[in-house]
Every structure is written in C-alpha cells, then in structure tokens.
C-alpha cells in the first residue's frame, strides 16, 4: 500500500447517515396523532446503532445518528468488527429529518467541512437516498467539498427510490414484465385510492375469497398493512364495507396515498418461513450484484422480525427462482438509474407458487446481517454458516442495560476463533423492551441451539 506523503490529504472518509424516518416521511407526517408520530420517529432513531453493522467491513468512518449511542456498545462493536477509528456525530435537534437536522446544526456541518478539507473527498452513504440526503450532498459540494455517493442514484434518477419502493410501483413493473416471464407475478390485486372506494373493493374481495390484504403505498415495518382472514369480517357486503371504513378511518394515511387491495395468499412455512427474500446491490456502473437469499421471519400481522441466511434455507428450485426474478427486477431498476441496495420480498404459497410481494429500494432489514457475516465469518459465509437474526425480539422494557446484557450473554457471544455465537446489535432498543441480535452457527442445528440458549438465559435473568 502506498504511503501518503507528509502533509498530503488522506484519500477518502466514509460518512454514514442513518436517515430511517426520512425514507417514509410522508407516511409518518400523515399520522393524525402527534404522540404516535413522535413515538414512530423515536423508535426509528433507536434502530440507528444496529446500522453500525452495515458498516462492519469499514476500518474507519464517521457515523451520523439521530440518537446518542452507549459508549460501551460502541467499544463492543469496534472490538468485534476491528474498527480503528469511529467518530459519532449527533445533531442537537432531532425532528425525524436527519439530513435537515445536520444542515441546521452548525457543529455537525463545521465538522463535515473540516473532514472534507482533511480528506481528498467524502463518501456519503445513507440508509435511504431521500431528497433531504441529496440536498445535504449538494450543499457540501457548494461549499467546495468533493463528495462521492457510492451507494446512491444521481438526483435525476432518485425518483426510482420512491417509485419502485412503493407498492403500486413494483406492481406496475411486475405486470409489465410478467407478460414476458410467466413466473413473475404478484397476488391478484388492484391499486385504489380513498377509503370509501377501497373499502368497497376490499369487501367484495373478502366475501368472494374469505380473505383480503390492504396496503398503503409506502408503509413501514408492518404499519400500513391490514390482513383479514376467514372470520375476521362480516360476510354481508354493507356490514363488511362499513367495518372496513371504520378501521381505515383510524389512520389519516389511508386517505392520503394510493392503496393496494390484493388477494390473501396462504404462505407455506416450510419454504423460508413462507417468505423468501433476495437482496442485491447495483454498482455505480449499473452492474447488478446478487448478495444473498434468505427466509424472512414475519408474524401474523405481516410485521418483519428478522432473517435466516444459509445455503439450504430455501429449496434449490425456490432459491434459483427468487434469484432470477430479483436479477430481472434489478436490471430494470439499473436501467432506470437506481444505484445502491435493494431487495425483493416474496410469498411462497401453499400450492407451490412464488409471488413477488414488494421491494425495498434502500438498505434493508437484512443488510446489517449480511455485512456482519462477511466481516466476522468471511466473504463466503453463506456457504459456511447458518445465520439467524431478530431485529426486535421482545424482552422486559428497561430490564437490561447493555453492560448487564453483555455480562449475561458472555458465554454465548460470537467468537472469531469458532466463527459461532451471538452478536448484540443494539443497546438503544433495550430500554424499549427489544433485543436486536444475530446468531451464527456452523449449521442450522447449531444456530438453533445457540438461539435457544440465549432465550433461556433471558428467561432466567
């Protein structure tokens, strides 16, 4: 490696921005209840320390977060992932729009400009490429700082994030390409708008099919999804419609955005838990790179919990199908100018069919697991290990500090020697009553044993 000349600028500084709430800001902004809105913003902020693991392969970087992180957790992360230099910046004000908060924070902006002068350039990466993120990039460039965005589309192509990341956008793409490829399909459905019309469409579907799913165009972590199964709603049209209107009127966002009404598909839990997934990365030259496939842990309400990664988590036929379809969708994203991470969620139906459910056009709920796996086990970790994760495993709120949890889990914590064990992914979530973790095992049985022991220890504490 070439040495830097004395007095010369160091090459590049990576700056990571965890702007989770920005990705779904119109949805959060549409909450009628301001208390609920604040809770959603705070919960998203609590996910920020987990995102450090998306950066597991970096030796040095600056991390901008809406919420301070426990110094003991930072030390644990640095030691585990062999990070030499980690700087954490927290804007004084937290509105949910992190990039805007950065622009309005003199201290943070001053530090970014200083970094831009110390290094030849900054490489800004974010959870999601939002208009606020692009404004921050533009502002820094206008201040004379050279900024690279290695995981983002250009401003002209940034429309792809919201369009393909929405329920109606991915449905459009699937319908167009489904004419060419027969196995590319979504559950039968329509895009609607406004509560009254949607309730009528959904009531008819429910009465005919004994089930229906209603989704807002771009919800978040299970919010904005209604799943109705047999017996959940009245079978008479007028009563069914009335009940649906009453349910949807509770949340202002149903009236504000397009709505997808689709058939309820019964998942086959033997195939990736019923919800297979594949994640990809589109490089700046437009090449679509396959990262991994997995099974998703999803509850009855449709809320995502975590992933299961490993060569055998999906039958070969299904693994090959989700990978091929993911590539096909990725080629379209790439052609339209999207750059960065994306995934495709699927539903494996009981009859053997595989349906596209949605796409997340950003860092996903499995990205940190994949990046941690590469750093801790090795680049081909999916062939050597089985990895299970849970982003929000329920525990007693305020029961554990990070230190107390770390001490309790000492015997199970990940070891670079054995390439097995548990990784604690967040200290912020502990106060809210959630444990975010990753478990690495040499095979599925080992991963299950370690996860089982972890749950036993939590129960006995």
Rounded to the nearest integer, the mean pLDDT of the chain is 95
**What confidence tens digit (pLDDT) does each residue in 48-91 have?**
999 999 999 999 999 999 999 999 999 999 999 999 999 999 99
**What confidence tens digit (pLDDT) does each residue in 32-43 have?**
778 988 999 999
Residue 86 C-beta-side C-alpha neighbours within 13 Å = 26
pLDDT for position 351: 87
Residue 3 lies in a domain: no
Of 324 and 30, which is predicted with more confidence?
Answer: 324
Q: Within this chain, do residues 300 and 238 fall inside the same structural domain, yes or no? A: no
pLDDT for position 301: 78
Q: Within this chain, do residues 142 and 253 fall inside the same structural domain, yes or no? A: no
pLDDT for position 1: 44
Residue 356 lies in a domain: yes
- 355-371 average pLDDT score: 96
Q: 101, 124, 152 — which closes off a domain?
A: 152
Q: What is the DSSP string of 257-322?
A: S-EEEEPPP-B-TTTGGG-EEEEEEE-TT--EEEEEEEEEEE-TT--EEEEEESTTSS-HHHHHHH
Residue 295: CATH number of its domain = 3.30.470.20
pLDDT for position 138: 98
pLDDT for position 2: 42
Q: 262, 295, 319 — which closes off a domain?
A: 262
**Is the separation of the CB atoms in 145 and 116 below 8 Å?**
yes
Report helix, strand or coil for 96.
Answer: coil
In the chain, the percentage of residues whose pLDDT exceeds 70 is 98
Position 251 confidence tier, pLDDT thresholds 50, 70, 90: confident
Element (H, E) at 241: helix 237-248
Residue 180 lies in a domain: no
Residue 165 lies in a domain: no
Tokens coding 124: 């800004």
In the chain, the percentage of residues whose pLDDT exceeds 90 is 88
Which of 111, 133, 184 is closest to 363 using CA atoms?
133
Residue 197: CATH number of its domain = 3.30.1490.20
Residue 4 lies in a domain: no
Residue 179 lies in a domain: no
Sheet bearing 212-220, strands edge to edge: 189-192, 259-262, 212-220, 223-228
**Is the separation of the CB atoms in 225 and 251 below 8 Å?**
no
Q: State how far the Cα of 293 lies from the Cα of 380, in Å rounded to an integer.
A: 13
Q: Within this chain, do residues 144 and 248 fall inside the same structural domain, yes or no? A: no
pLDDT for position 270: 93
Question: Could you give the number of structural domains in the chain?
Answer: 3
Q: Within this chain, do residues 98 and 208 fall inside the same structural domain, yes or no? A: no
Burial class (CB in 10 A: 0-12, 13-18, 19+), 256: middle
Q: Within this chain, do residues 142 and 198 fall inside the same structural domain, yes or no? A: no
Residue 163 lies in a domain: no
Q: Within this chain, do residues 318 and 216 fall inside the same structural domain, yes or no? A: no
Q: State how far the Cα of 212 lies from the Cα of 203, in Å rounded to an integer.
A: 8
DSSP letter for 8, please: P
Q: Within this chain, do residues 208 and 147 fall inside the same structural domain, yes or no? A: no
Q: Within this chain, do residues 320 and 435 fall inside the same structural domain, yes or no? A: yes
Position 10 confidence tier, pLDDT thresholds 50, 70, 90: confident
Burial class (CB in 10 A: 0-12, 13-18, 19+), 405: buried
Position 4 confidence tier, pLDDT thresholds 50, 70, 90: very low
Q: Within this chain, do residues 117 and 195 fall inside the same structural domain, yes or no? A: no
Of 4 and 53, which is predicted with more confidence?
Answer: 53
Q: Within this chain, do residues 53 and 119 fall inside the same structural domain, yes or no? A: yes
* Domain region containing 237: 188-262
Residue 280 lies in a domain: yes
Total-model pTM: 0.94
**What confidence tens digit (pLDDT) does each residue in 189-231 have?**
999 999 999 999 999 999 999 999 999 998 776 678 999 999 9
Q: State how far the Cα of 209 lies from the Cα of 109, in Å rounded to an integer.
A: 55
Q: State how far the Cα of 433 lies from the Cα of 105, in Å rounded to an integer.
A: 31
Q: Within this chain, do residues 194 and 74 fall inside the same structural domain, yes or no? A: no
Report helix, strand or coil for 460.
Answer: helix
Q: Within this chain, do residues 236 and 139 fall inside the same structural domain, yes or no? A: no
Q: 238, 262, 286 — which closes off a domain?
A: 262
pLDDT for position 187: 97
Please give the backbone phi and psi of residue 369, each rounded to the nearest 5 degrees, phi first: -70, -45
Neighbours of 429 (CB within 10 A): 22
Residue 96: CATH number of its domain = 3.40.50
């Amino acid at each position: 490696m070439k040495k830097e000349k004395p007095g010369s600028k160091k090459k590049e500084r990576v700056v990571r921005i965890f702007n989770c709430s920005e990705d779904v800001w119109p949805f959060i902004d549409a909450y009628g209840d301001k208390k609920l809105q604040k809770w959603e913003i705070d919960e998203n902020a609590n996910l920020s320390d987990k995102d450090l693991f998306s950066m597991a392969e970096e030796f040095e970087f600056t991390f901008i977060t809406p919420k301070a992180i426990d110094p003991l957790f930072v030390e644990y992360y640095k030691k585990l992932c062999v990070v030499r230099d980690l700087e954490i910046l927290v804007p004084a004000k937290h509105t949910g729009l992190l990039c805007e908060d950065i622009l309005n924070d003199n201290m943070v902006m001053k530090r970014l400009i200083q970094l831009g002068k110390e290094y030849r350039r900054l490489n800004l990466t974010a959870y999601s490429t939002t208009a606020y993120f692009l404004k921050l990039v533009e502002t820094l460039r206008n201040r004379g700082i050279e900024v690279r965005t290695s995981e983002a589309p250009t401003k002209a192509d940034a429309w792809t994030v919201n369009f393909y990341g929405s329920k109606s956008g991915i449905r459009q793409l699937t319908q167009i390409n489904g004419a060419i490829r027969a196995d590319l399909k979504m559950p039968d459905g329509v895009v609607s708008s406004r509560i009254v019309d949607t309730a009528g469409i959904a009531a008819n579907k429910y009465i005919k099919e004994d089930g229906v799913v209603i989704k807002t165009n771009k919800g978040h972590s299970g919010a904005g999804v209604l799943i109705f199964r047999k017996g959940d709603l009245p079978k008479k049209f007028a009563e069914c419609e009335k009940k649906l209107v009453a349910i949807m009127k509770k949340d202002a966002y149903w009236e504000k955005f397009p709505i997808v009404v689709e058939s309820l598909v019964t998942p086959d839990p033997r195939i990736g838990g019923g919800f297979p997934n594949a994640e990809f990365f589109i490089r700046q030259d437009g090449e679509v790179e396959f990262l991994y496939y997995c099974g998703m842990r999803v509850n009855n309400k449709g809320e995502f919990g975590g992933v299961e990664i490993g060569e055998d988590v999906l039958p070969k036929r299904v693994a090959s199908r989700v990978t091929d379809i993911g590539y096909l969708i990725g080629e379209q994203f790439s052609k339209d100018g999207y750059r960065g991470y994306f995934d495709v969620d699927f539903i494996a139906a009981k009859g053997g069919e595989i349906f596209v459910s949605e796409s997340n056009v950003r860092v996903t709920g499995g990205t940190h697991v994949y990046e941690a796996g590469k750093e801790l086990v090795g680049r081909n970790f999916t062939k050597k290990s089985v990895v299970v994760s849970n982003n929000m495993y329920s525990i007693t709120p305020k029961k554990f500090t990070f230190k107390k949890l770390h001490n309790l889990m000492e015997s199970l914590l990940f070891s670079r020697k054995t390439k097995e064990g548990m990784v604690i992914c967040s200290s912020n979530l502990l106060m809210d009553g959630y444990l975010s973790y990753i478990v690495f095992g040499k095979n599925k049985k080992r991963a299950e044993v370690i996860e089982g022991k972890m749950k036993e220890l939590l129960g006995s504490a």
